[in-house]
Structure 1
Amino acid sequence: MNVFRKVIRFYVEGFREMTVGRTLWAIILVKLFIMFAVLKVFFFPDLLAGKSPEEKADYVLENLAPPASGTEPSIQ
């Protein structure tokens, strides 16, 4: 348990003493927010919203593995 506390204290003291590091962490967090919050809203629409479970299953089945171009699946 003592080793665990030493490791935690090492990182806590390291983050307290940072000067440039805090700015860099702030930039990283802003970039992550932009990537996951802003881009998701504008570039990844929810195509399955408002559909029934059967419609969702059909949509996934149709788009999961579309047939190769120019070939029809053979049903025997």
Structure 2
Amino acid sequence: MNKKGFLYRAFDLYYDGFRHMSLGRTLWAVILIKLFIIFAILKMFFFPDFLKQKAPDNEAGYVATELIDRAQ
């Protein structure tokens, strides 16, 4: 890879920055924990599976009829 190329310099910048990180590792851990909470835990409590409740047998048919009914 060309050492003067943009991709090499960008990769080197991030690689060097992550290698010399001390406080940043803790901050990244906090960010990853928060993302896990947002996407995994909150999804279970606040976003129920709507299709399973409305159409447990034929989910595709339910979606199709809803789209057709709303388009009219």
Specify if TM > 0.5: yes
* Contiguous gaps of at least 5 residues in structure 2: none
User: Which residue, out of 8, 17, 25, partners 1:14?
Assistant: 17
- CA shift digits 1:11-61 (9 cap, x unpaired): 110011110011001000000000000110111100112242333445677
* CA spacing shift, 1:54–1:47, aligned 2, 3 Å: same
1:33-44 alignment, distance < 5 Å = 33-44=36-47
CA distance in 2, matches of 1:60, 1:27: 41
CA distance in 2, matches of 1:60, 1:3: 47
Question: Greater CA radius of gyration, 1 or 2?
Answer: 1
Identity of aligned residues (%): 44
Structure 1 vs Structure 2 CA RMSD: 2.1
Q: If the length of structure 2 is used for normalisation, what is the TM-score?
A: 0.70
Pair 57,36 (structure 1): closer, same or farther in 2 beyond 3 Å: same
Q: What CA distance in whole angstroms lies between the structure 1 residues aligned with 2:48 and 2:62?
A: 17
Aligned length: 63
More helix by share: 2
TM-score under structure 1 normalisation? 0.67
